[in-house]
Structure 1
Amino acid sequence: MGTAAGSAFDTDTLRRAIEGPAPNTLLSLYADDAELRVVDHNTQPSSPRVLHGRSEIAEMLDDVYSRDMTHKLEECVVQGDRAAFSESCEYSDGVRVLADSMLRLRDGKIVEQTIIQAWDE
């Protein structure tokens, strides 16, 4: 994957961060003033979960990475100050989650992310 031309956003680091055992590397990819929106069955488009800043994003990542599950970066595309990726996850009991993200980047850091996710029920 590597770094896209003209962008300091490193997709190899994104892969290691997502697939790693702890959220610290993933958190380092976010700008201090980043905003993250989550749309799913519980937080639908008219009322998404919105996190502001690295501290709120860190709380969510700490929760997610404390669960008994694996994460895999499936695809990632970077073009200029935009990126998109798909992530698949699986809990130890076999429940699967699929999440697609759209990113806006600034100086190689994520400043806006929208996640749309679905999981087995």
Structure 2
Amino acid sequence: MGTAAGSAFDTETLRRGIEGQTATTLLSLYADDAELRVVDHNTQPSHPKVLRGRDEIAEMLEDVYSRDMTHKLEECIIQGDRVAYCESCEYPDGVRVLADSMITLRDGKIVRQTLIQAWDE
């Protein structure tokens, strides 16, 4: 992986942030006015959780990446100003989480992200 032609978005930074569980590294990929929509069992499509701005996004990233679990970037595809990636996670007790994201970029930074996640229950 690497930087897509014509894009400042670096998938290696994404990988380091996810697999190194570094919220600060991940936050560096977001524009100040970014919006993140989260859809899952608790926040379904008609009422997604919406985080606006780097401060709200940082709070969520710090919570997720401070947990005792592993994270792996499974796949990442960049096409123009769009990014799609899949992340798999596992807690020590074996509970697994799968999260897919669709992203829109502006000047190489994330401005919109929709994250759909599911976990073992």
The TM-score normalised by the length of structure 1 is 0.98
Q: For 1:85 and 1:23, locate their aligned partners in 2 and report how far apart those are by CA, in whole Å.
A: 17
2:4 corresponds in structure 1 to: 4
Mapping for residues 1-40 of structure 1, pairs under 5 Å: 1-40=1-40
Q: For 1:21 and 1:100, locate their aligned partners in 2 and report how far apart those are by CA, in whole Å.
A: 17
Structural RMSD (CA): 0.6
The TM-score normalised by the length of structure 2 is 0.98
Mapping for residues 1-121 of structure 1, pairs under 5 Å: 1-121=1-121
Identity of aligned residues (%): 83
Q: For 2:60 and 2:21, locate their aligned partners in 1 and report how far apart those are by CA, in whole Å.
A: 15
Q: String of CA shifts for 1:79-99, please: whole Å, max 9, x gaps.
A: 110000000000111100000
Q: For 2:82 and 2:9, locate their aligned partners in 1 and report how far apart those are by CA, in whole Å.
A: 10
Q: For 1:8 and 1:63, locate their aligned partners in 2 and report how far apart those are by CA, in whole Å.
A: 27
Residue type at the aligned position of 1:33 = D
C-alpha displacement of 1:19: 0.7
Q: Which runs of 5+ in 2 are unaligned?
A: none
C-alpha displacement of 1:27: 0.6
Q: For 1:21 and 1:5, locate their aligned partners in 2 and report how far apart those are by CA, in whole Å.
A: 27
Residue type at the aligned position of 2:46 = S
Q: String of CA shifts for 1:29-58, please: whole Å, max 9, x gaps.
A: 000000000000000000000000000000
Q: String of CA shifts for 1:83-118, please: whole Å, max 9, x gaps.
A: 000000001111000000000001111000000000
Q: For 1:52 and 1:28, locate their aligned partners in 2 and report how far apart those are by CA, in whole Å.
A: 15
